[in-house]
Amino acid sequence: MSLDAVLARIDADLDDATSRLFELLRIKSISTDPAYTPEVAKAADWLAEDLRGLGFDAEVRPTAGHPMVVGHAGDGGPHVLFYGHYDVQPVDPLELWHRDPFDPTIEDQNGVKVIRARGAADDKGQLMTFLEACRAWKAEHGSLPCRITVFLEGEEESGSPSLVPFLEENADELRADVALICDTGLFGDNTPAIVTQLRGMLQEEITLTGPSLDLHSGMYGGIAMNPIRVLTKVLAGLHDENGVVQVPGFYDGIPEISDELRAQWDGLSFEPSAFLGPVGLSEMAGESGRSGLEMIWSRPTAEVNGIWGGYNGAGFKTVLPSKAHAKISFRLVAGQDPLVLRENFRVWVNAQLPPDVEAEFVGHGASPASQMDTSAAIFEQTREALSEEWPSAAAFVGCGGSIPVAGYFKEILGMESVLAGFGKDDDAIHSPNEKYDLSSFHHGIRSWARVLARLA
């Protein structure tokens, strides 16, 4: 099958592909607001119908929440599962949008053509890059180059409450050789990135209680233990002077990145000052001796996200508080067990408490990191295919955040995920005036066509 003919078809059909994307973008599929439940269902129906037009055996599948869309097509070659989500974030505050968020248009932004609409980048524009690549293959050759299952979710922006049950109930149907996920971005403007490691998350809330009630600081100050004083000492000791987390066993089992991966990251020419400058910072604050990309991609973190206690109103109240509170999150990497870390953290805190102060802990989530096995052939095949399409060679990268679906695919379906997307840092996802570069849409379609050709 000729790839060149498919790429030429994509180029010639870009206007029609953009029009189809606009149809989907006009559907107000906000999953978090029950008022938009009919719109979410409408988007699912639209996608299932579009897939059927491409020859997929596609259905809208009900869940306890919003529906999933599942479609199967093709035979022979490897079996790939493509995942995307068709729900979008709310548009508030609406007054900050320059136009109707669900009236998509192409605008000029600093000399670059962009698609402006809610969901343009997250994730409707991204998922349509894959569907349009399939459309071009079907139009040119009458069939797809390999066996493909498309799996589209309608609850990603509202925490995916139905995802795990659906995967467990339909594991045999959805299991494939590999999952393709298009919900990430480029590195910079022209370097395709394949995310091969995703940090996990542990969230803890602490309440320290000292006296049984708030006390007058004149009468009790000095003789009574202040829980805020204890809490601030504990939190100050969370890191040493070199930024190293002090919870016992925190770094146990964490692997170093390979020399090959380090060389790829060094080749990305990441400048910490350029990264930090726009948010008013200038110096890296993580572990000494680590590069900036290591700090945000392959090293674990401990961060205090909130701290409060005592009187916080207007004026002054000389109170010695009964309680002090903090919220702390840990971003985890491969080799760390969040439940073991939770226990170690709680033991570490309790060991520092003086008499008359007790700690209460509330856990708010514990998910492990995901580490892809890049020795699987598809990873290098995808890297080569993307490198042929973009000005700069593709790189295996990390992601400082968490994308739980990749972990679920590995845990429940037993397969690796290739995360490759074409968004940019300035796409304003989740924010007013979201956009997706027209070039990202165009080259994204061509990229998936190349990947499918390599797999076939």
Decide if 187 contacts 88 (C-beta within 8 A): no
**pLDDT class of 238 with cuts at 50, 70, 90:** very high
For residue 447, which of 178, 264, 270, 184 has the smallest C-alpha distance? 184
Decide if 137 contacts 452 (C-beta within 8 A): yes
Neighbours of 355 (CB within 10 A): 6
Q: What pLDDT, on a 0 to 100 scale, did the predictor assign at position 404?
A: 84
Q: Please give the CATH number for the structural domain made up of 200-254+300-366.
A: 3.30.70.360
pLDDT, tens only, 384-414: 999 999 999 999 999 987 788 998 999 999 9
Q: Write the DSSP symbol of residue 123.
A: T
Task: Give residue limits of the domains in the chain.
Answer: 3-198+369-455, 200-254+300-366
Does 179 score more than 80 pLDDT?
Answer: yes
Architecture of domain 3-198+369-455: 3-Layer(aba) Sandwich (3.40)
**pLDDT class of 84 with cuts at 50, 70, 90:** very high
Q: What pLDDT, on a 0 to 100 scale, did the predictor assign at position 400?
A: 83
Arithmetic mean of pLDDT over the chain: 96
Handedness of CA 205, 211, 216, 220 (dihedral sign): negative
pLDDT, tens only, 299-314: 999 999 999 999 999 9
- Give CA–CA dist 319/251, Å, rounded: 40
Q: What pLDDT, on a 0 to 100 scale, did the predictor assign at position 410?
A: 93
Does 420 score more than 90 pLDDT?
Answer: yes
| Range from 26-30, 170-174, 243-247, 275-279 carrying the lowest mean pLDDT | 275-279
Does 169 score more than 90 pLDDT?
Answer: yes
CA-to-CA dists, residue 390 to 7, 124, 348, 387, 442, angstroms: 14, 21, 49, 6, 11
Chain centroid to CA 165: 20
